[in-house]
Structure 1
């Protein structure tokens, strides 16, 4: 599953309200308890990402499918419906994090935030959460 710049542009302009941005590994989806491996991005979340994280370009957002599929997944203890996917892009060595939330009652996964990560924040996620999947 990959998203395109066109998908992001349609979402931002309001032509659609939600797009698919990636697939969780099947083992992670079953551990979380969701019925589908698909992860969605809403227009509201895209606007949040653009406002709060202006360093994230649309090109960076294309990496979200890799972050979701290949990244480390940690469940936050304070928010049991929130999951953090951490990923190091192999070419640039930049760290990215996608924050996922399980939407009730449908049990769908939504990406609520996407941003760059600093080096020590990965350890912080591990201290504050439960490891579901390690980095490959």
Structure 2
């Protein structure tokens, strides 16, 4: 499943909308107790990410499907997991969090930002690696 820049632009223009980003790995889906295992990005979350993290562009966010598929997943608070990803072309490291919603049937990306090795190690040491 791919993600296009036009999808992100349309999401910004459409309040109360969401787009599917990809399928969660089975271990993450089980941890979040979300049998459907589909990760969504809402217009609210996209707006939040772009406002709170000005160093992240929508171009950076195009790596979200690859991040969901092959990132390092770490258990976080109940109903929440973190994923870390190093972009293969730019070597930039990103962190995202995903939360279960809708009675456990939907999962939404709640944040996406740059991170460093120290931040990743801190979170990995607190939670268990899922995938």
How far has the Cα of 1:15 moved from its partner? 6.6
- Equivalent of 2:78, from 77, 80, 90? 80
Q: 2: CA distance between counterparts of 1:86 and 1:68?
A: 9
Q: 2: CA distance between counterparts of 1:104 and 1:129?
A: 24
Post-superposition CA distance 1:35-82 (Å, at most 9, x none): 112100111100100100111111111101111111111111xx2111
Post-superposition CA distance 1:56-111 (Å, at most 9, x none): 111111101111111111111xx211110001112221101111001141431100
Q: Is the 8 A contact 1:86 1:98 kept in 2?
A: yes
The normalised TM-score by structure 1 is: 0.89
Counterpart of 2:29 in structure 1 is: 29
Q: Is the 8 A contact 2:71 2:83 kept in 1?
A: yes
Q: 2: CA distance between counterparts of 1:25 and 1:117?
A: 22
Gaps of 5+ in 1: none
Name segments (4+ residues, structure 1) moved above 6 Å: none
Counterpart of 1:118 in structure 2 is: 116
Q: 1: CA distance between counterparts of 2:111 and 2:124?
A: 18
The 5 A counterparts of 1:1-136 are: 1-14=1-14, 17-76=17-76, 79-133=77-131
Q: Is the 8 A contact 1:68 1:98 kept in 2?
A: no
Compare 12-21 and 95-104 and name the one that shifted more. 12-21
